[in-house]
Amino acid sequence: MALLLVPDRTYDDKGWFSSLATAEGWFDRLFTETPSAPPSGGHITFIESTETLWTAATTDYFVTAPATLTEGDLLWVQFANADTVGSFTTVPSGWTAEVPVLHASGGNMITAYWHVVTSGEEASPPATFDFVWSSSLTGNALLGVFRGVDNTTPIDVAYSSVTNGTTTKTVPSITTVTDNAYVIGGAQLQSATTQTVNAPASGWTEIENSSTQSAGRGAVLARKGEQAVAGATGTAAFTQTSALQGYAYQVALRPSTSTDGTFTTSAGASLGSGGSTTMTGGAGFSTTAAAALANGGSSTFTAGAAFTTSAAAAVAQGGSTTLIGGATFGTTAGAATAQGGSSAFSGGAVDGTFTTSAGAAVANGGSTAFTGGAGFTTAAASALAQGGSSAFTGNASFTTSAGAATGNGGTSTFTGGGGFTTSAASALASGGSSTYTGGASFGSAAGAALAGGGSSSFTGGAGGDGTFTTAAGAAVASGGSSAYSGGAAFTTSTATALASGGTSTFTGGASFGSLVGAAVAAGGTGSFIGTTGDAAVGRARSGAGGPSARGGSGAAPRARTGGSGPHSGGSNPGAARVATGPNGPHAGGAS
């Protein structure tokens, strides 16, 4: 049994490990710690799904695989239509029928196939698989992608099914034989337009649902997920809105037995502290409580490896964590990444993704790099690169649906197609530095503060490079500095304060545009230099009754007003001009 030696912990190809003790540079002794039995199975992860609808009759059921596939992934595709006796006359190479063609009364058909992704099929553009039905009919295909499934024997236990004409189709229990088997199932009903079929209410999650979409027959594909200990799964009660004919089934997928490097805990855990941990293939680290990863050491996740936690987690504190290939880090609670250390996310599609549904801090005092298609996503308040460094390149992106702070006391760089997007109030580079180059952009659908006490730079050429856009009130460079050059632009559709107590510079073709009243350089400095737009004449424009350049300074500003009300200019080394509206006095400022 060959061993691969690693300073901290070493795993062989069966998941067993050994330790190597050293003293003053000399090998002291080699000993082996032997678990009572090899792991019975790894962990299966649901990756994504697709729905294909054929609302016009056809015999060609083309199924397109998602673009995020990894070699070894298992594709499960479920078909439904209104046939009474038909079947597939052509099945693509490498696909195996697990649920045979099941015909229910009244013209209802359901069947399911699986396929293991081979080398090259994960390439872009994604692979297309052509199934041919025996007659021309409308229909649908619901597809799920699962990672970590045994590629040799993917089915842990055969399907069970039920058919009836009631509103509940209760599928008999099946008995898994491997720990961590993954239970999935599906159902269809005798309606394509008005009635709905649903996943079991308790413990199941819907993957896709084609009900009421006029595509053959309504159908649902669902997952119960991992069953930690082999045994009975229990029944599965699929429900319908009407008592109609149809079939339902459930089946279990077998996890890969190649579990090298798998570490699981239900309490606080430290992985690779002061040492080195490597997870490859389907390896994973999972915890249901607070966890520290690679404290003062190094952790590497490759291929399908994953780190998952359902509670607050710290990754690579004072150490290094690398996620490559299809590796992922996921948490459903607050998480800190690379505090005082380094975390690298690389790869294509969703590779190297960091995802959280709660507050998260990335690269606090450390360094985080997102490359290729890597991304950082959060559904709640987030702080990025506080006192550290975060770099987004290629198509990498940072997205949040709630308040977010980027580059607080640190540095964040967005290049190429990298972008920062938020749908709620955001603070960018507060006390730190954020740089947008190439096609990078910052977008907000709500109030945003940019470079408050820090520095933000937007550069690039045509095509919206370096653009900052907001659909609500925004403060730019409050107490800090913002620079727009090349084709960079700042645009807002409502009241905006620019460079309040700070500095904003627009050069080249850069511009500032507002559809509603805006204040430019309030208490700060706004400098417009260039040949096009507002930058050409160095003036601030506002819509309905808004102040321009109040209390600040700028190069030969002009204040324009619309509507009614007083409007005052600010102090300026050049000549200030004031235009008047239909009513009300308008006073110029000192020059």
388/454 same-domain check: no
Domain-embedded: residue 575: yes
Q: Could you tell me if 256 and 282 are in contact, meaning their C-beta atoms sit under 8 angstroms apart?
A: yes
432/538 same-domain check: yes
Report strand pairing: 168-171 vs 375-378: unpaired
Q: Could you tell me if 331 and 353 are in contact, meaning their C-beta atoms sit under 8 angstroms apart?
A: no
Task: Cis check for the bond before 582: say yes or no (omega within 30 of 0).
Answer: no
> Using one digit for the tens of pLDDT, what is the confidence trace for 386-402?
778 888 887 777 777 77
Looking at residue 52, what is its pLDDT?
94
Q: Which is higher by pLDDT, 519 or 532?
A: 519
Band of pLDDT at residue 323, cut at 50, 70 and 90: confident
370/470 same-domain check: no
The boundaries of the domain holding residue 161 are: 45-253
> Using one digit for the tens of pLDDT, what is the confidence trace for 450-468?
777 778 888 775 444 677 7
Q: Which is higher by pLDDT, 194 or 394?
A: 194
Domain-embedded: residue 259: no
Report strand pairing: 236-240 vs 218-227: unpaired
Looking at residue 546, what is its pLDDT?
33
Q: Could you tell me if 432 and 412 are in contact, meaning their C-beta atoms sit under 8 angstroms apart?
A: yes
Q: Which is higher by pLDDT, 447 or 159?
A: 159
Band of pLDDT at residue 11, cut at 50, 70 and 90: very low
Looking at residue 327, what is its pLDDT?
73
Mean pLDDT of 279-298: 74
| Cα(322)–Cα(338) distance, integer angstroms | 10
Q: Which three-class secondary structure state does DSSP give residue 153?
A: coil
402/477 same-domain check: no
Report strand pairing: 74-81 vs 108-116: antiparallel
Last residue of a domain, one of 253, 282, 298: 253
| Cα(295)–Cα(314) distance, integer angstroms | 9
Q: Quick one: 187 exposed, middle or buried, by C-beta within 10 A (0-12, 13-18, 19+)?
A: buried
Domain-embedded: residue 258: no
Using the predicted structure, report yes or no on whether residue 344 has a pLDDT greater than 60: yes
For the chain, the domain total comes to 4
CA angle 417, 298, 44 (to 5 degrees): 70
Using the predicted structure, report yes or no on whether residue 583 has a pLDDT greater than 80: no
The segment with the largest mean pLDDT, out of 248-252, 333-337, 346-350, 438-442, is 248-252
State the amino acid at position 236 in one-letter form: A
Q: Could you tell me if 546 and 564 are in contact, meaning their C-beta atoms sit under 8 angstroms apart?
A: no
> Using one digit for the tens of pLDDT, what is the confidence trace for 47-98?
999 999 999 999 999 998 887 788 889 999 999 999 999 999 999 999 999 9
Query: What percentage of the chain has pLDDT greater than the value 90?
Result: 30
Looking at residue 227, what is its pLDDT?
93
| Cα(274)–Cα(296) distance, integer angstroms | 5
Band of pLDDT at residue 42, cut at 50, 70 and 90: confident
CA 523 to chain centre: 39
CA angle 437, 439, 443 (to 5 degrees): 95
Last residue of a domain, one of 222, 253, 284: 253
159/277 same-domain check: no
29/54 same-domain check: no
320/274 same-domain check: yes
Using the predicted structure, report yes or no on whether residue 521 has a pLDDT greater than 70: no
Lookup result for tokens 């107490």: 479
Q: Which is higher by pLDDT, 73 or 437?
A: 73
446/507 same-domain check: yes
Domain-embedded: residue 96: yes
Q: Which three-class secondary structure state does DSSP give residue 252?
A: strand
| Residues in Cβ contact with 120 at an 8 Å cutoff, skipping those fewer than 6 apart | none
100/32 same-domain check: no
Looking at residue 49, what is its pLDDT?
93
Mean pLDDT of 217-231: 95
The DSSP code sequence of 26-58 is: EEEEEEEE--SS--S----EEEEEEEEEEEEEE
181/302 same-domain check: no
State the SS3 of 120-140: CCCCCCCCEEEEEEEEEEEEE
Q: Which of 531, 530, 504 has its CA nearest to residue 518?
A: 504
Q: Which of 486, 490, 420, 419 has its CA nearest to residue 459?
A: 486
Strand partners, 205: 223
292/356 same-domain check: yes
Lookup result for tokens 């990335």: 362
Q: Which is higher by pLDDT, 162 or 454?
A: 162
Last residue of a domain, one of 207, 222, 253: 253
Looking at residue 383, what is its pLDDT?
76
Domain-embedded: residue 415: no
115/131 same-domain check: yes
Q: Could you tell me if 448 and 471 are in contact, meaning their C-beta atoms sit under 8 angstroms apart?
A: no
Mean residue pLDDT across the chain:
74
